[in-house]
Amino acid sequence: MPARFNRILLKLSGEALMGPGQFGIDPDTVASMAAEVKAAKEAGFELCLVIGGGNIFRGMAGAAKGMDRAQADYMGMLATVMNALAVQNALEQMGVETRVQSAIKMDQVCEPVIRRRAERHLAKGRVVIFAAGVGSPYFTTDTGAALRAAEMKCNALFKGTSVDGVYSADPKKVKDAKRFDTIGFDRVLAEDLKIMDAAAVALCRDNDIPIVVFNIRQPGNLAKVLAGEGVATVVQ
Ligand code: UDP
Domains, the chain, ranges and CATH? 7-235 (3.40.1160.10)
Residues belonging to the binding site are: 11-14, 53-54, 58, 73, 134-141, 161, 167, 170
| Number of Cβ within a 10 Å radius of residue 233 | 25
Tell me the pLDDT tens digit for each residue of 98-156. Answer: 999 999 999 999 999 999 999 999 999 999 999 999 999 999 999 999 999 999 999 99
Q: How many whole angstroms from 229 Cα to the centroid of ligand 1?
A: 31
Nearest to 12, CA basis, from 47, 64, 60: 47
C-alpha distances in Å from residue 151, one per residue of 22, 33, 134, 192, 210: 33, 24, 12, 26, 14
- In angstroms, the CA 141 to CA 147 distance is 9
Nearest to 208, CA basis, from 153, 128, 145: 153
Q: How many whole angstroms from 140 Cα to the centroid of ligand 1?
A: 4
Any atom of ligand 1 within 6 Å of the Cβ of 77: yes
Any atom of ligand 1 within 6 Å of the Cβ of 62: no
Q: In the beta sheet, which residues pair with residue 100?
A: 129
**pLDDT score recorded for residue 159:** 98
Any atom of ligand 1 within 6 Å of the Cβ of 233: no
Q: Which of 9, 29, 73, 82 to mutate to test the pocket of ligand 1 (most atoms within 8 A of CB)?
A: 73
| Number of Cβ within a 10 Å radius of residue 24 | 14
Running along the chain, 236 residues long, what does each successive block of 10 average in pLDDT? 78 95 96 98 97 98 98 98 98 98 98 98 98 98 98 98 92 92 97 93 98 96 94 97
Atom of ligand 1 nearest to the CA of 62: 11
Any atom of ligand 1 within 6 Å of the Cβ of 160: no
**pLDDT score recorded for residue 10:** 98
Q: In the beta sheet, which residues pair with residue 128?
A: 48, 99
Any atom of ligand 1 within 6 Å of the Cβ of 165: no
**pLDDT score recorded for residue 172:** 86
**pLDDT score recorded for residue 4:** 66
Any atom of ligand 1 within 6 Å of the Cβ of 13: yes
Query: Cα-flanking dihedrals φ and ψ of residue 35, to 5°?
Result: -65, -35
Q: Is the ipTM of this complex over 0.90?
A: yes
